[in-house]
Amino acid sequence: MALKKGHEVELDIIDAAFKGKGLAKVDGLAVFVPNTTPGDKVKARIIKKKKKHREAKLLEILEPSPHRIEPKCQHATVCGGCSWQHIPYAKQLEFKTQQVRDHIERIGKLDGGIVKDGLGAERDFYYRNKMEYSISNKRWLTEEEIRSDEYVDDSAFAAGLHAPGRFDKILNLKECHLQVPESFEILDFVRNYCIEHGITPYNTFDNEGLMRHVMIRNSHHTDDFMVNLVTYRDEPEIIQKMSDALLEEFPFITTVVNNVNDTKSPTAVGRFEKVIHGPGYIVDQIGEFTFKIHPNAFFQTNTLQAERLYEVARNYAEIKEGDVVYDLYCGVGTLSLFMSKAAEKVLGIELVDVAVENAKFNAKENGVENVSFVKGDMKDVFTQEMVEEFGAPDVLITDPPRAGMHPDVVERLCELKVPRLVYVSCNSSTMARDLQELKEVYELEEVQPVDMFPQTYHIEAVAKLTLKD
């Protein structure tokens, strides 16, 4: 079968694969279909023809998998936020764990048997402590509207999440179950308030309109609750009235902030920021450490699972009294602080200026004096001179971005021969690639997947390595 673009085919989904898509095979050729699960028999249309695979659009479920369930949210099949709501959470965890094993075996050329069963989240919904909703004058049409023979107007005050692959159109949410229920209630209130008071949504093409984003943060360990209203212009009178209305409707809100982004950049980070109500930050904890979280500061979006992830990393590190610990790609220092109690000293290394500033602030706020932070690109600053200045590490933690570690950093680790190495990863495929290079010097003892993002295909993993004799 040629499987040309536009062809409609019947497929048996045999596995969960690339970006959570279902995998089918036709004459040995892989076909990826979103919104499917192993065991489904489906009708699909080929939409992309690649050299070694095809991508298809689901048209109809002919025979549902025994694993298939009804999604909790009406937007699940079109929203990029929850791509696996049609799969029971226990099965999601199985598929994610198998994904890590496959990467360790296929990319890392290592024994997949060392990958432990994934640590699932206590909450598979309402687990995020931050949601960044976007606002636009264009909404994404429903499947029924797209198929309609009649003209359908897509202009609206749309508030929700970007339609997958679209920067200009917003899926106008009627519900969302990722953050606490109050989060969506606030979004809905802001949308209705703006419509009632003639406050315009931002137009990406014309750079007109006022409202751009509503970003909401809540603390797990305290009652703190933040609303960040992101606007295209500074309109203090309008925002003050909106803030007053929010506080009257939702008295549990502890701080309201206005970020003003008057540039063409789609980010929710304003060129300047104004505190409208409260202190301008919320307070939360990871373990015994307290963090002031400002609107644009990085903080792990699943507080409970972040604690479990860090506990796994700390246990793998086996830090002893007198140990020197290096934390590469340390971000705002949460993991550095988490490791600090048992160590003689900890050195965190990070590229981003504001992250280093936040890390130093967090250490000071928590009274931690044995942690230092250095700014710089890892491949440039992670040198012998640094080792001579701060001391040779007994333990090294690395938590790189999705792209994994730069080859120069991997080579440096092989040269340095640190006794104990802990690799924290948000992308098990690039971690496996790096582990393949490290295996000449280090023994991979164990890998623990930790699920930070239920209802999605994403999975974190922590690897424990020790220096070979």
CATH number, domain at 44?
A: 2.40.50.140
pLDDT of residue 382 exceeding 90: no
Does the structure show a pLDDT above 80 at 269? yes
Classify strands 395-398 and 324-328 as parallel, antiparallel or unpaired. parallel
Instruction: Tell me whether strands 225-231 and 29-33 are parallel, antiparallel or unpaired.
Output: unpaired
Does 267 or 182 have the greater pLDDT score?
182
Q: What is the pLDDT of residue 143?
A: 67
**281 annotated as belonging to a binding site for a ligand:** no
pLDDT above 80: residue 147: no
Answer yes or no: do 250 and 311 share one domain: no
Q: How far is CA 13 from the centre of its chain?
A: 27
Helix, strand, coil fractions of the chain, as percent rounded to 5: 25, 30, 40
Say whether both 444 and 460 belong to one domain: yes
Contact 326, 335 (CB under 8 A): no
185/305 same-domain check: no
Same domain, 147 and 269: yes
Is 330 among the domain residues? yes
Give Cβ neighbours of residue 94 (< 8 Å, ≥ 6 apart). Answer: 118
What is the sign, positive or negative, of the torsion defined by CA atoms of 37, 41, 47, 53? Answer: positive
| Alpha-carbon distances of 101 from 30, 110, 117, 120, rounded to whole Å | 20, 9, 10, 16
* 185 domain-assigned: yes
Q: Is 92 annotated as a binding residue?
A: no
Under 8 Å between Cβ of 129 and 293? no
Mean pLDDT of the chain: 92
What are 181-218's pLDDT values in tens digits?
A: 999 999 999 999 999 999 999 998 888 999 999 999 99
What's the predicted TM-score (pTM) here? 0.90
One domain, residues 221 and 307 = no
Q: What are the residue ranges of helices labelled H in 283-352?
A: 303-317, 334-340
Do 379 and 328 sit in the same domain of this protein?
yes
Q: Which residue range forms the structural domain that includes residue 406?
A: 94-123+301-467
Decide if 361 contacts 333 (C-beta within 8 A): no
Question: Between 297 and 277, whose confidence is greater?
Answer: 277
Active site residues: 426
Region of 51 (left: φ > 0; alpha: ψ -120 to 50; beta: rest) is alpha
pLDDT at 19 exceeding the cut of 90:
no
State the pLDDT at residue 51: 85
399 marked as binding residue: yes
Question: 77 in a domain, yes or no?
Answer: no
Dihedrals phi, psi of 183, to nearest 5 degrees:
-60, -50
pLDDT at 141 over 80: no
Number of domains in the chain: 3
Q: Is residue 80 part of a domain?
A: no
Contact criterion met (CB below 8 Å) for 220 and 280: no
CATH number, position 413: 3.40.50.150
How far apart are the C-alpha atoms of 274 and 226, rounded to whole Å?
13
Identify the pLDDT of residue 140.
Answer: 78
pLDDT value of position 151: 66
Confidence at 163, pLDDT banded by 50, 70, 90: confident
316 is in an annotated binding site: no
**pLDDT surpasses 80 at 78:** yes
